[in-house]
């Protein structure tokens, strides 16, 4: 089982909801603001595709997580390879736009990968951004990068 470290972009959605005052209180209080974040996991070699399809691929998973319902979530991912004269960009990859797969407290972008053509050690990472409809308002998470650039035996 892999344990991934992730870099997280947290975005807080302004709340206009007022909570009725508690018994004995004189003024209404603001509701707690939703806490949402975009998590971009480190690049890694897929063991599932290696075992099931005998393919070597580098992949990056992304999660949009919120403590309230989010809908119409669109995550955009680029898988990047460090190069001597600049990064090579693969993608963009996006999540399916079916209600069942782009709504909820956690929305995932998985199974996006780049095929390895050799076992040359190469530096890989992911960057992603997202937008989501939360509490009746579009919210945006800016470009977020994997916490580490991983050196993997996957050349292209």
23 touches 83 (CB < 8 A): no
Average confidence score pLDDT of the chain: 85
Question: Which of 30-44, 102-116, 138-152 is predicted least confidently?
Answer: 30-44
43 touches 59 (CB < 8 A): yes
Rounded Cα gap, residues 9 and 5, in angstroms: 13
pLDDT 10s digits, 63-105 = 999 999 999 999 999 999 999 899 999 999 999 988 888 999 9
pLDDT of residue 58: 98
Confidence of residue 33 (pLDDT cuts 50, 70, 90): low
Q: Which domains does the chain have, with CATH numbers?
A: 6-11+32-155 (2.60.40)
């Amino acid at each position: 089982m892999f344990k991934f470290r992730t870099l997280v972009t947290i975005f807080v959605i302004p709340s206009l909801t007022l909570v009725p005052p508690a018994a004995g209180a004189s003024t209404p209080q603001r509701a707690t603001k939703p806490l949402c974040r975009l998590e971009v996991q480190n690049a890694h070699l897929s063991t599932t595709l290696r075992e099931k399809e005998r393919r070597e691929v580098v992949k990056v998973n992304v999660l949009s997580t919120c403590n309230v319902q989010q809908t119409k979530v669109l995550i955009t991912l680029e898988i990047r390879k460090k190069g001597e004269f600049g990064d090579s960009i693969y993608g963009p990859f996006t999540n399916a736009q079916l209600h069942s797969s782009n709504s909820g407290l956690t929305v995932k972008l998985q199974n996006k990968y780049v095929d390895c053509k050799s076992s040359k050690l190469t530096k890989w990472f992911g960057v992603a951004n997202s937008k989501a409809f939360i509490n009746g308002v579009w919210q945006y998470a800016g470009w977020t990068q994997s916490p580490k650039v991983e050196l993997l035996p996957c050349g292209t």
